[in-house]
Amino acid sequence: MKPPLFKEGIDPMKAEAWVLGVEKLFEVFPCNEAQKVQLVAFTLEDEEHKKRTEFETLRQGNKIVAEYEAQFVELACFAPHMVDTDYKKARKFEGGLQNAILDRINVLKLPTYVNVLERVIMVEGNIAAQSRISEWRGKRQNT
């Protein structure tokens, strides 16, 4: 009998169905608590692998820094080896930033994640302000 794999995402109904399937499996094949944990971990492995890969390939893209940072924090727990020091966490976060932002902060070699995040937020604000000024100048010259 094959254990049910949990790869349904975060839909509560699908998650509950998975839990019920695993509980039925435990009824048919009695096992101790340690074996139950191993089985559950095995069935979750596929989903954890997807999240780890998602973190490994995470990029800011068109997201604002706050959205990128929220996704970064959410997914980091699936690849703890990549962020197990503050330095590694800072470098990983930098590595996913948009080039326009990265070009302005990577020369600083900021030592901590918090330092990087603070500076990135400032840079994003500066870029937005420069963009608004350029738009205003363009409109002003056209009138």
pLDDT, residue 116, reads 97
pLDDT, residue 126, reads 96
Inter-CA distances, 52 with 83, 102, 116, Å: 12, 23, 22
Residue 14 has pLDDT above 80, yes or no: no
CB within 8 A of 18, min separation 6: which ones?
4, 6, 8, 43
pLDDT, residue 33, reads 87
CB within 8 A of 121, min separation 6: which ones?
65, 66
User: 42-62, pLDDT tens digit by residue?
Assistant: 777 677 888 899 999 999 999
* pTM attached to this predicted model: 0.68
Residue 2 has pLDDT above 70, yes or no: no
